[in-house]
Chain A
Amino acid sequence: DIVMTQSPLSLPVTPGEPASISCRSSQSLLQSNGYNYLDWYLQKPGQSPQLLIYMGSNRASGVPDRFSGSGSGTDFTLKISRVEAEDVGIYYCMQTQQSPLAFGGGTKVEIK
């Protein structure tokens, strides 16, 4: 089974400043079709998770362009160019290459 590891566990941020979250997989998520099977989700307090990024770098519908995903193979990054107060919550990466699907442990983003 593929294991997903995120860092940091906690990320205090200042509004208007950038933020970055790292995600590493135990096996490559890059398939022969050139796509990386890695999603990013945000779970805001008291809510169900919501999709931010799919296939490594594609923003979901309605997601602000301050969110971007990058990386390939086993190393991926989620970046927020300028954090806003509404971005607080827990961010999860998830491998979608093979069953069983697996989430990272989560990164809690909070405002300083």
Chain B
Amino acid sequence: QVQLQQSGPRLVKPSQTLSLTCAISGDSVSSDSSAWTWVRQSPSRGLEWLGRTYYMSKWYHEYGGSVKSRITINPDTSKNQFSLQLNSVTPEDTAVYYCARWGHAPRYFDYWGQGALVTVSS
């Protein structure tokens, strides 16, 4: 059974960096059959795919359009986890952030973290 445990600050000031971590148990961040993904949810944007990292002979990183210039998703193989960093946040980045496991074949999200409400406010 795969479990994803999210952690990180829940309050971030405008212009600063939002940082979250997703610890994986029951699978490996280096698995070649999975991609490790961040999704957020807000009343104004609904569910929004932010990006993912995965390993297939080398590491790949893919990011969504609305945050592409501000986002970094990195694996940490020593701790079997992956992280989200979102720079230069504004109140519009206030949302519930989820980490999730994506299967390459077939393609779907099968495991999700519990979600973390991150508020951007001074």
| In the complex, chain A residues 29-67 whose Cβ is within 8 Å of any chain B Cβ | 37, 39, 41, 43, 48-51, 54-55, 58, 60
Distance between A106 CB and nearest chain B CB, rounded to angstroms? 5
Partner of A100, one of B62, B106, B113, B114: B62
Given contacts A100-B64, A100-B65, contact A51 B108 (CB under 8 A): yes
Task: Decide if B26 is an interface residue (CB 8 Å cutoff).
Answer: no
Q: Are B113 and A51 in contact (CB under 8 A)?
A: no
Decide if B106 touches A55 in the complex (CB within 8 Å): yes
Residue contact B108 to A106, C-beta cutoff 8 Å = no
Q: Number of A residues contacting the other chain (C-beta, 8 Å)?
A: 24
Q: Is the beta-carbon distance between A49 and B47 smaller than 8 angstroms?
A: yes
**Majority SS at the chain A contact face:** loop
Q: In the assembled complex, how far is the CB of residue A46 from the closest CB belonging to chain B, in whole angstroms?
A: 9
Contact B108 A39 (CB under 8 A): yes
- Tell me if B98 is interfacial: C-beta within 8 Å of chain A: yes
Enumerate A50-92 residues with CB–CB distance to B below 8 Å. Answer: 50-51, 54-55, 58, 60, 92
Q: How far is the CA of A46 from the CA of B114 in the complex (A)?
A: 10
Contact (Cβ within 8 A) A96 B108? yes
Q: Is the CB of B46 within 8 A of A48?
A: no
User: Whose C-beta in chain B lies nearest to the C-beta of A58?
Assistant: B106
Instruction: List the B residue with the shortest CB-CB distance to A6.
Output: B46
For the complex, give the distance between the alpha carbons of A106 and B65 in Å. Answer: 20
**B100 → A minimal CB distance (Å):** 8
| CB atoms of B65 and A55 under 8 A apart | no
Chain A CB within 8 A of B115 CB: yes
**A48 contacts B62, C-beta separation under 8 Å:** no
- Cβ-closest chain A residue relative to B47: A103
Q: Which residues of chain A are near B113, meaning CB under 8 Å?
A: 48
B112 on interface, CB distance cutoff 8 Å = yes
List of B residues within 8 angstroms of A48 by Cβ: 98, 100, 112-115
Q: A15 at interface (Cβ–Cβ under 8 A)?
A: no
Add 12 more A-B contacts to A43-B47, A48-B112, A49-B109 (CB < 8 A): A48-B100, A48-B113, A49-B47, A54-B107, A54-B108, A55-B106, A100-B51, A100-B63, A101-B64, A103-B46, A103-B48, A105-B46
